[in-house]
């Protein structure tokens, strides 16, 4: 994606009533100063703020709405600096056609009553009160938005000295950034579904329509063709990368490392030529030995891409690679996982998966092990083994929802140390506050596919905002 596409474009406007400015000296300038503070606070790398000014008439609102369209904003932030008519807000929103964050930010915790009441000049007192009158127009605006079915969010608090409020505002901006990134992402799909996995089947129209993700079908034959052209120097170079990226066990045959390196080089080329930001694959390759050779040597290259912010999911798991991408965009990693077993003695759930793992969330360096058979899949070769970093984790599943296409299913837990299965797969032990039994039943009751994404840290509150921003359902378990 180019820089323009990557940049979140935030439309920022304040609102007021034109009649006030002549009546109350200095009020307009004071409120503009509030707006400048907000602009500074929401500006960061990767964000561009389009200043629309202090909108105080329907005519200015109409012009600001057209400016939103010219500037191609992604989210509109409306700061209720004082009382304003809803008719000075609606024209902007109708033309901008983007999600709206409505700010009810008072300059301080409270009006200084004694100082205020000692002013003596009632006109000056009214002007001072109006500088604190942020909450007044919010119900009016919310009423109009609700009656018209306009999506909006709120943040209520103080302009200064209110970290709780500004944390919420930052979370809304992050939700907008993730939504923007998804809407400019290209997902590669290579191969076909794992026969019989009915839960994995996904409506691609819903994927593109709800997330804005473009789906590009790529051919296993193309990957194989690229692989034919990989030269020995590139293979040696990729093996050197493997040795830096992974902990390659001594029992990994050189021939298998070369096979995996050859495929990894070709996979990088395939991703680059299709400009992919995420990818899901599965292919048996039976009856065509060259394709089987390609697909049985893909895991290391796919793991490297996943660690380089291009998540790759096996088993053609469209929904789960989206979940992995979301977690990666939040800086939480995002690894492919599923139930492995329950440990009722320790009240834990064991979860993991074969195939790609995310180095950014590994407890230790990812180990590369040789396997004589890929369970349930064609072929043999190298696989990766890791545990997710001990501490707070979040599970995310993108689940079909008949009402709004998808919902985000989330659980917060903890990755804990202990014995795991050393079988050449990712494998971790997870504890949940509601206990393993209740977690499993409540999670399953939401109808997710059997895979989900795991990331480090607790992100349920952020994911709830992302779901709201995308107009998806949301459910937190536990």
Nearest by Cα to 325 from 277, 288, 372, 370:
277
Beta carbons within 10 angstroms of residue 309's beta carbon: 15
Question: 265 near 304, Cβ under 8 Å?
Answer: no
Radius of gyration of the chain (CA): 26
Tell me the residue length of the chain.
478
Would you give per-residue pLDDT tens digits along the chain (478 residues)?
A: 444 467 999 999 999 999 999 999 999 999 999 999 999 999 999 999 999 999 999 999 999 999 999 999 999 999 999 999 999 999 999 999 999 999 999 999 999 999 999 998 999 999 999 999 999 999 999 999 999 999 999 999 999 999 999 999 999 999 999 999 999 999 999 999 999 999 999 999 999 999 999 999 999 999 999 999 999 999 999 999 999 999 999 999 999 999 999 999 999 999 999 999 999 999 987 788 999 999 999 999 999 999 999 999 999 999 999 999 999 999 999 999 999 999 999 999 999 887 788 999 999 999 999 887 776 676 778 989 999 999 999 999 999 999 999 999 999 999 999 988 777 678 899 999 999 999 999 999 999 999 999 999 999 999 999 999 999 999 999 8
Indicate the SS3 state at residue 400. Answer: strand
Tell me the whole-structure pTM to 2 decimals: 0.94
Tokens linked to 228: 């034919």
Name the helix (H) or strand (E) containing 353.
strand 348-353
CA–CA gap between residue 386 and residue 256 (Å, rounded): 20
Task: For residue 405, give Cα distances in angstroms to 232, 252, 447.
Answer: 47, 44, 14
Phi-psi region of 469 (alpha: psi -120 to 50; beta: other; left: phi over 0): alpha
Q: Confirm if 189 and 280 have CB atoms less than 8 A apart.
A: yes
H helices within 72-203, ranges in order? 90-96, 113-117, 122-130, 138-148, 163-183
Pairing of strands 473-477, 247-248: unpaired
- Paired tokens of 371: 């396997």
Tell me the longest C-alpha to C-alpha distance in the chain.
92
């Amino acid at each position: 994606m180019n820089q323009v596409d990557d940049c979140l474009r935030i439309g920022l406007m304040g609102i007021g009533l034109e009649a006030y400015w002549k009546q109350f000296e200095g009020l307009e300038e004071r409120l503009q100063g509030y707006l400048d503070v907000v602009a500074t606070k929401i500006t960061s790398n990767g964000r561009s703020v389009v200043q629309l000014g202090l909108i105080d008439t329907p005519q200015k609102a109409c012009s600001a709405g057209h400016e939103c369209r010219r500037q191609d904003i992604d989210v509109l932030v409306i700061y209720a600096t004082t009382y304003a008519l809803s008719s000075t807000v609606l024209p902007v929103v109708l033309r901008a056609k983007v999600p709206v964050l409505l700010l009810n930010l008072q300059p301080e915790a409270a009006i200084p009553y004694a100082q205020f009441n000692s002013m003596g000049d009632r006109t000056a007192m009214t002007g001072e009160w109006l500088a604190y009158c942020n909450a007044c127009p919010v119900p009016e605006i919310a009423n109009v938005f609700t009656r018209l079915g306009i999506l909006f969010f709120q943040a209520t608090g103080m302009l200064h000295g209110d970290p709780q409020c500004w944390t919420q505002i930052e979370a809304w901006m992050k939700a907008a950034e993730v939504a923007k990134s998804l809407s400019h992402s290209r997902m590669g799909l290579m191969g076909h579904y794992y026969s019989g996995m009915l839960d994995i089947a996904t409506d691609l129209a819903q994927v593109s329509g709800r997330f804005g993700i473009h789906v590009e079908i790529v051919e296993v034959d193309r990957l194989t063709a690229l692989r034919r052209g990989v030269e020995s120097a590139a293979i040696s170079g990729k093996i050197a990368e493997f040795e830096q990226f992974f902990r390659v066990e001594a029992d990994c045959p050189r021939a298998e490392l070369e096979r995996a390196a050859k495929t990894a080089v070709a996979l990088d080329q395939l991703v680059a030529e299709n400009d992919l930001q995420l990818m899901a694959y599965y292919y048996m390759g039976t009856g065509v030995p060259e394709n089987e050779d390609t697909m049985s040597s893909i895991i290391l290259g796919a793991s490297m891409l996943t660690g380089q912010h291009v998540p790759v999911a096996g088993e053609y798991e469209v929904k789960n690679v989206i979940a992995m991408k979301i977690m990666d965009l939040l800086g939480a990693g995002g690894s492919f996982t599923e139930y492995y077993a329950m440990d009722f003695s320790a009240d834990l759930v064991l979860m993991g998966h074969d195939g790609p793992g995310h180095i950014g969330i590994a407890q230790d360096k990812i180990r590369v092990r040789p396997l004589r058979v890929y369970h349930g899949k064609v072929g043999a070769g190298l696989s990766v083994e890791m545990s997710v970093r001990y501490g707070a984790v979040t599970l995310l599943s993108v689940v079909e929802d008949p009402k709004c296409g998808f919902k985000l299913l989330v659980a917060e837990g903890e990755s804990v140390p202990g014995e795991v299965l050393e079988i050449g797969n990712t494998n971790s032990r997870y504890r949940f506050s509601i206990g393993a039994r209740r977690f499993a039943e409540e999670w399953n009751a939401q109808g997710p596919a059997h895979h989900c994404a795991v990331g480090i840290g607790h992100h349920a509150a952020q994911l709830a905002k992302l779901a709201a921003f995308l107009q998806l359902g949301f459910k937190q378990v536990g």
